[in-house]
Structures are given as C-alpha cells and as structure tokens.
Structure 1
C-alpha cells in the first residue's frame, strides 16, 4: 500500500507564512506613510478625543441603566 501524507500541516504552514508576509508588508506600508506625513495630524488632540469618547461612553451607560430598570 502507498502512504498518503496529510496535506493539513503543509497548508497550515503556507497559510501562516502568508499571514506573516502580509503583516510585514502592512507594517512597512504604515511606516512609510508615517515618514512622509509626520505621523500625527496636528488637528487631533488626544485629550479632546479621549475626553469625548469618555463622555459618549458615560452617556451610553447612563441611558442603558435608565432603560434597564425592573418595574
């Protein structure tokens, strides 16, 4: 009888290599874009963005707790 090798480990290895090379390409692309444009935009203030996100999340939490009361 002839033995048939299991194709699963080879296909997993190929998939992992493909994901690894794709991730590497994305990192290189992102670093090139940051070099050209200086990275951050001057109009984005991290404190304002974080504060706005916090206020929105607190508002959503308040609305959820108001609507979730047992009557």
Structure 2
C-alpha cells in the first residue's frame, strides 16, 4: 500500500468520525465559544491600546 492511499484512507476515516466516536464528551460548545470570544476581545483591546495615532 502506498503512502498516498494510506493517507487517503485515514483522512476518510477521520472525516467520517467513526474511529473515535465523533464528538468528545468534555468539549462544550459554550466553553469553546466563550474562549474564542474572550480571545478576540483581548486582541481587540491590545490593538486599540497600541493604536497611538493621535
């Protein structure tokens, strides 16, 4: 079996989500979304603090 066909087989298995059962139990969408919102607000705050045009 060649490297490309092995990689393609693993990618199909990974895309189907059948290898590890799909979604992880401890991964909450609220925690993920809250963390992303916090990170974006932090980046916005840093950007505005260093914007010293005036």
Q: Which has the higher helix share?
A: 1
Which ranges of 4 or more aligned residues in structure 1 deviate by more than 2 Å? Answer: none
Structure 1, unmatched stretches of 5+, are: 1-20
Structure 2, unmatched stretches of 5+, are: none
| Bigger RCO of structures 1 and 2 (CA < 8 A, at least 6 apart) | 2
Equivalent residue, structure 1, for 2:31: 48
CA RMSD of aligned residues (A): 2.0
Q: Which protein is bigger by CA-based radius of gyration?
A: 1
Aligned length, in residue pairs: 47
